[in-house]
Structure 1
Amino acid sequence: MDRQWSVRDQHRDDVLALLHRGRRLTRGEISQSLHLTRSTVSELLADLLDQGIITVAEQRSPGGRGRPAEVLGIHPGAVRYAGLDFSHTAVTLCLANSAGDVIAAATAEYPSGAGWESRVQLALRSIHELAVDDVHLDVIAGIGIGLPGPNSASWHGFPSETPVEPFHLVKARIREQFASAFDCAVLVDHHIRFAALHEASIAGESERDIVYLRLSTGVGGAVLGAGAALRGTHLLAGEIGHMIVDETPQAEACRCGRRGCLETVASAGAVTRAWQEIVGPQADLEDLAAALEASDPRASELLTGIADAVGRVLGIAALVIDPDEIVVAGEVGALLVNVLPDLRQAVARQCLTGTEVEIRGAVASHQQGALGAIAALRSADHPARRPGRAPSLPAPARGGLRVR
């Protein structure tokens, strides 16, 4: 049975909420701000100091006689937010403090056929493994989780003899497990939307209309309209990685159940296999990058063909959305920068703006999805509230976060 919530617990949360806004205050200032007695505040702060949740940031001179006043703030190792990015093969985790500074990070791999149950358990263990030394989870307020989409896995993994569980139920179970484990709000959305938001924010383009495409273990997209990640009626806005580019009888099967999607042509695995067919079974994307650097015509021809397929899809997206720019990310996206003129021409053939639409490579970081989740949590955060009141972070509507 859960412990009963007490007045002291509420006062403790009020103190933390005040300090989590990035402020550094003396005991007297905290007492005055919260209209609490100094003795009550002193007892609370003594416990928080002992637990390592807050720290003495500086000593403030009284300006006359008397002892210097201790200025208190949140300990930089106190985790306020956790951002997770689940790909088809690994989960990337970033833990951040109140200022949004990442204080611990890791990537944990799992087999591509692993089910969501094992993926979640691995992520939960990994979060706790990061909480060592000065890093602790005592005041975590929210967890942002980016998921790769409805066809990454079932709850128990692929292949399965039973029908795949509806993805909205899988997402609900994932949210429930993290909320139960950490007793905090959990936001769930597509990991590419989180990555796109992070990319836009660090590039200073938070108000621009952007088509974002990440070509990695999967191929996922996102659409930003005036700084908001568009989600769609079925939460599938931006899934341009599943536009069909190969309608021949030899088209490869896609994880979505169809054939010939862009993902079957331009994902890291698909590109690697295509390169291996040209140079041998031991080749990988690093070999392909080296061949491009050495002006190997075989590498250039392969990437030009991929650029044509990717450009057709991006051009159609640009025709519909009319974005300020297109951002290409991921391992394959980094390779396509080498054939950017070909990619631009392929886009121009499909859209009315021709070569006017800006196309660029993303800032390289495998942590983008996790960092975008943290940014979304920070934008939604407000002073902590407890049972009987609204949660400290708003629960996402319709299975995910409406991020602005």
Structure 2
Amino acid sequence: MSEQIYVGVDLGGTAIKVGICDAEGKLMHTYEGPTEVPLGPETVINNIEKYVRHIVEESPYDWEQVAGIGTGVAGFTNVKEGIVILAPNVGFKDVPIRSILEERLGKPIKIDNDANVAALGEAWSGAGAGIDHCVCYTLGTGVGGGIIIGGKIVQGFAGLAGELGHMSVIPDLEAIQCGCGQMGCLETVSSATGIIRMAQDAVDRGDRTSLSLVEKLTAKDVIDAAKAGDEVAARIVSRAAFYLGKSMAAIAVTLNPERFIIGGGVSKAGEFLFEQIRETFAKLAPEPVKQGVTIVSAELGNDAGMIGAAGLFLRS
């Protein structure tokens, strides 16, 4: 019998990335094409079909070897029914993508949200390889998350488990309203957006900081300034790290994962950020649940979504 392969689709607002993986999670071929969101959902779905067929055709594999096609979408998904409930970045609302793609491609289709598939990718063949219990954070514009227990994605009854950015961890007197409508969410301080907001607030207050010389602040500007010894920037990064560590301590007593994996743009701050997260976690997590727990950087970068989407057939 010929080797089975799995295709993973990372559906983004700008580009659709498609990858072929083997049964061990090794990414063997990739292809990327424009999403073309302004042309409407039908065009986006047409592009998914086109790119999937293209990558298999240009690979050494036959179409008959494709055992399944997984798709990760940035938005709310009904995993059981295969419906994208709402994905503003790609213009989807109540789109039954699984049934549409199954009809067009003639292959089994699975879907999930982008944070879950990225977590699954890391757990399958990235920083969590060989570990059955891990929790993944993605620190970007927001704070995404994915929970892997027993090697499988934890979905929750409505498929909304793992919304780590919306853990309420900030005391009321310090809390601001999150984009989700609630107060004190982790995302308000530990995302790139949160870091920029805190930096801009400091500049507007007239705090003595080199950040006041930057025309358009980015999270990288803040992190670089902190590393260079800017006290205001250092306090901001420390605050972001503290609440990440605090959230991990809460997760540790709830799920007892062996490893926390952190990816996304903010994670590029490296050990400067990670050491502070580990310090807070060590202080706040009870002794028994922190034993043997590691906090590490993600390894797969932009490939995690493709690999995890392909892995929906073997690891979910």
Give TM-score, length-normalised by structure 2.
Answer: 0.75
Tell me: CA distance 1:143–1:344, structure 2 relative to 1, closer, same or farther (3 Å): same
- How many Å apart are 1:243 and its aligned residue? 1.0
Show the counterpart of 1:61.
Answer: none
| Larger fraction in strand | 2
Hey, what does 1:189 align to over in structure 2? 112
Count residues with an aligned counterpart.
292
Question: Does structure 1 residue 365 correspond to structure 2 residue 301?
Answer: yes
1:283-318, Cα deviation, whole Å (9 max, x unpaired): 324434433443433332211011112222111111
1:268 aligns with 2:192: yes
Which residue is 1:315 aligned to? 249
Q: Which has the larger radius of gyration?
A: 1
User: Could you tell me how far 1:368 is from its partner in structure 2?
Assistant: 0.4
The one-letter code of the counterpart of 1:345 is E
Would the alpha carbon gap of residues 97 and 370 (structure 1) be closer, same or farther in structure 2, given more than 3 Å must change?
A: closer
AA paired with 1:201?
W
Shift of 1:352: 1.2
Q: Is 1:147–1:191's contact at 8 Å kept on the other side of the alignment?
A: yes
1:285, 1:129 → 2: CA distance?
Answer: 37
Q: Secondary structure at the match of 1:189?
A: strand
Residues 249, 329 of structure 1: CA spacing in aligned structure 2 closer, same or farther, 3 A cutoff?
closer
CA contact (8 A) 2:263 2:301 kept: no
Shift of 1:83: 0.9
Distance 2:87 2:128 in 1: 41
Q: What CA distance in whole angstroms lies between the structure 2 residues aligned with 1:286 and 1:273?
A: 13
Change (3 A) 1:365 1:108: farther
Following the alignment from structure 1 to structure 2, what is the Cα–Cα distance between the partners of residues 156 and 361?
27
Q: Deviations over 1:160-180 (max 9, x none)?
A: 9xxx96xxx54xx12123223
In structure 1, the partner of 2:208 is none
8 Å contact from structure 1 (residues 275, 284) kept in 2 = no
From 190, 193, 212, the equivalent of 2:136 is 212
Maintained 8 Å contact 1:116/1:156: no
- Out of 14, 18, 21, the position equivalent to 1:94 is 18
Q: 1:85–1:93: 8 Å Cα contact kept in structure 2?
A: yes
Q: 1:358 to 1:369 in 2, by over 3 A?
A: same
* Gap regions ≥5 residues in structure 2: 78-83, 204-210
CA contact (8 A) 1:275 1:288 kept: yes
Q: Please name the residue that 2:9 is paired with.
A: 84
What secondary structure, in the 3-state scheme, does the structure 2 residue paired with 1:19 have? coil
For the residues of structure 2 that align with 1:376 and 1:235, how far apart are their CA atoms? 14
What is residue 327 of structure 1 aligned with on the other side?
A: 261
CA distance in 1 between partners of 2:87 and 2:259 (Å) = 39
Q: Which residue of 1 aligns with 2:238?
A: 304
CA RMSD of aligned residues (A): 3.7
Which residue number corresponds to residue 244 of structure 1?
168
| Amino acid paired to 2:251 | A
> Greater RCO between the two (CA within 8 Å, min separation 6)?
2
| CA displacement 1:101-142 (0-9 Å, x = unmatched) | 43223274678x998667545544554665775678844442
The CA distance in 2 between the partners of 1:363 and 1:321, in whole Å, is 23
1:210 CA drift (Å): 1.4
After TM superposition, the structure 1 = structure 2 runs for residues 69-218 of structure 1, keeping only pairs within 5 Å, are 80-86=5-11, 89-96=13-20, 100-106=26-32, 108=34, 120=45, 123-124=48-49, 126-127=51-52, 138-139=63-64, 140-150=66-76, 157=88, 169-170=94-95, 173-202=96-125, 203=127, 205-218=129-142
**Contact 1:84–1:94 (8 Å) recurs in 2:** yes
Residue 259 of structure 1 deviates from its aligned partner by 3.9
Q: 1:273 to 1:209 in 2, by over 3 A?
A: same
Equivalent residue, structure 2, for 1:19 = 2
**Counterparts of residues 347-362 of structure 1 (less than 5 Å):** 347-353=281-287, 356=291, 357-362=293-298
Q: Secondary structure of 1:221's partner?
A: strand
TM-score by length of 1: 0.60
Cα 1:276/1:208, change in 2 over 3 Å: same
**2:178 alignment partner, one of 250, 253, 263:** 253
Change beyond 3 A, Cα 1:209–1:117: same
Describe the shift of the 1:155–1:225 C-alpha distance in structure 2 as closer, same or farther (beyond 3 A): closer
Structure 2 residue identity aligned to 1:375: G
The Cα of 1:331 is off from its aligned counterpart by 1.2
Structure 1: runs of 5+ lacking an equivalent: 1-17, 22-79, 380-402
